[in-house]
A = this chain, B = another copy of it.
Amino acid sequence: MSDIVAMVEEIGRKAQKGARVLAWADGDVKDQALLAMAEGLESARGSLQEANAKDLAAAEARGLSPAMIDRLRLTDAVIDGMAEGIRQVVALPDPVGEMSDLRRRPNGMQVGRMRVPLGVIGIIYESRPNVTADAAALCIKSGNAVILRGGSEAYHSNRAIAAVLAAGLDRAGLTGDAVCFIDTTDRAAVGALLKMDQYVDIIIPRGGKGLIKRIMEESLIPIIKHLDGICHTYVDSKADLAMADALSFNGKMQRTGVCNATETLLVHQAVAKAFLPGHVARLQKAGCEVRGCARTQALAEGVIAATEEDWGTEYLCATLSIRVVESLDAAMDHIDRYTSRHTEVIVTTDHSRAMRFLREVDSSAVMVNASSRFNDGFQFGLGAEMGISTDKLHVRGPVGLEGLTCQKYVVFGEGQLRT
């Protein structure tokens, strides 16, 4: 066994010990620990920024782009933000221990379900070091231990943050074992982690498609993942066109580099002529590049011809593709073919079309008359999120505290025997 594998196994064992302590820690003990973690970050500001300086120097030496370097930087505001984020998690209700669906069986036995932590969560992430604190806080609140593996470019920063968080857990009388950090930049450590299903219950990758595909291929451990966000807004023939204009514009332009931004606008042919010229002009005026099908090009100025590839592209910038469709069914067919199953919106005043779209479109969030930008843990009222799952198993959409737990069956008997 290589040194790396041995080291990662040692971390696995430690995290599993930590998970046992966390699993049934009382809610207020976990909250005290989270507050100690937040205070720890604030008072370690100096040493965190010292560690961060090493990453920044290395990034500059490697010639990373200014934007990339900016994402790495632990400014005072970023440190304050991490502490504030942890305090917001403190304010959320503890999901662990909730009992539901308790029913009496014909033999008098009560059968129900109890919400419990998953155990050990492995998080593999790229860039931004604040993820270290955000992810750890959600795992601790939900009673899990976490193994953190950040990108090599933020190695020193992540390491320093994780150490502060573990110390906060220790200070609060829980255990630092519940926040483990893989203390090497060797890529073999990721491979070892992904095979360690005896210690790790779930892997959550956060990063680009390349990272996630590699993890899917290698992992023996179940994954909760976000692949990409090719989100659609469909303007129905029965849409309120002023509302459609506002929703499409907000879906695309309110923030463009995010997974819940609208990437393709579908427009029913009956309203295309009334809707598209003005809407396209408004988008273009705001700096949005518009690509479209031939019918869109015929109706609006300055539209670039969309290629087949456009329909399957997550632009993550101020570019929108537009297609005129013949019917609601054609819109749903287009979505079914090209969607990444993240977020889809219908704009319509027709009840039965709205309900058909809601039922039949299979994405993590399906919306009637609302902006695609709302698919988000804070906006949905989950309080915080670990990411947005485009998987179908276990949890779809924003992954909040509940997504980091599972339900076991509990049975209250009085000596019942099976016959």
Q: Which residues of A contact B (CB under 8 A)?
A: 20, 23-24, 97, 103, 105, 109, 111, 114, 116, 118-119, 197, 201-202, 216-217, 220, 222-224, 240, 243, 246-247, 250, 254, 336, 358-360, 362-371, 373-375, 379-381, 391-394, 396-398, 406-419
- Given that A246-B417, A254-B417, A392-B202 are known contacts, is A410 also in contact with B116, CB under 8 Å in the complex? no
Contacts of A224 in B (CB 8 A): 393
A374 contacts B254, C-beta separation under 8 Å: no
Interface of A is mostly: mixed
- Given that A368-B412, A418-B374 are known contacts, is A393 also in contact with B396, CB under 8 Å in the complex? no
Instruction: Provide 26 A-B residue pairs closer than 8 Å at the C-beta atoms, listed in order of the A residue.
Output: A24-B359, A105-B380, A114-B358, A116-B362, A119-B392, A202-B393, A364-B409, A365-B408, A366-B408, A366-B410, A366-B411, A367-B410, A368-B411, A368-B412, A370-B411, A371-B413, A374-B413, A375-B409, A392-B406, A393-B393, A393-B394, A393-B406, A394-B394, A396-B408, A396-B409, A398-B409
- Given that A116-B362, A202-B393 are known contacts, is A381 also in contact with B111, CB under 8 Å in the complex? yes
Contacts of A118 in B (CB 8 A): 392-393
Contacts of A216 in B (CB 8 A): 197, 220
- Given that A103-B381, A116-B362, A119-B362 are known contacts, is A370 also in contact with B416, CB under 8 Å in the complex? yes
Contacts of A103 in B (CB 8 A): 381
Nearest B residue to A416, CB-CB: B370
Nearest B residue to A104, CB-CB: B381
- Given that A217-B220, A254-B418, A417-B246 are known contacts, is A411 also in contact with B111, CB under 8 Å in the complex? no
Q: Within the assembled complex, what's the spacing in Å between the Cα atoms of A408 and B357?
A: 13
B250 contacts A418, C-beta separation under 8 Å: yes
Nearest B residue to A406, CB-CB: B392
- Given that A222-B391, A336-B20, A381-B111 are known contacts, is A406 also in contact with B396, CB under 8 Å in the complex? yes
Contacts of A365 in B (CB 8 A): 408-411
Contacts of A20 in B (CB 8 A): 336
* Min CB–CB distance A384 → chain B (angstroms): 16
Contacts of A391 in B (CB 8 A): 222
Contacts of A116 in B (CB 8 A): 359, 362
Q: Within the assembled complex, what's the spacing in Å between the Cα atoms of A396 and B408?
A: 6
Q: Within the assembled complex, what's the spacing in Å between the Cα atoms of A123 and B160?
A: 46
Contacts of A409 in B (CB 8 A): 364-366, 375, 380, 396-398
B408 contacts A397, C-beta separation under 8 Å: yes
**Contact partner, A396, options B222, B363, B407, B418, Cβ 8 Å:** B407
Contacts of A369 in B (CB 8 A): 412-416
Contacts of A419 in B (CB 8 A): 254
* Min CB–CB distance A196 → chain B (angstroms): 13
Contacts of A222 in B (CB 8 A): 222-223, 391, 393
Nearest B residue to A409, CB-CB: B365
**Contact partner, A416, options B374, B407, B408, Cβ 8 Å:** B374
B217 contacts A411, C-beta separation under 8 Å: no
Q: A217-B220, A254-B419, A396-B409 are in contact. List 19 more A-B contacts (CB 8 A).
A: A105-B380, A111-B380, A201-B392, A202-B392, A224-B393, A247-B415, A362-B408, A363-B408, A365-B410, A367-B413, A369-B415, A370-B411, A370-B412, A373-B418, A375-B409, A393-B393, A393-B394, A396-B408, A397-B409
* Min CB–CB distance A390 → chain B (angstroms): 11
Contacts of A246 in B (CB 8 A): 415, 417
**Contact partner, A240, options B197, B397, B415, B417, Cβ 8 Å:** B415
Q: Within the assembled complex, what's the spacing in Å between the Cα atoms of A355 and B287?
A: 61
Nearest B residue to A112, CB-CB: B380
Contacts of A418 in B (CB 8 A): 250, 254, 371, 373-374, 379
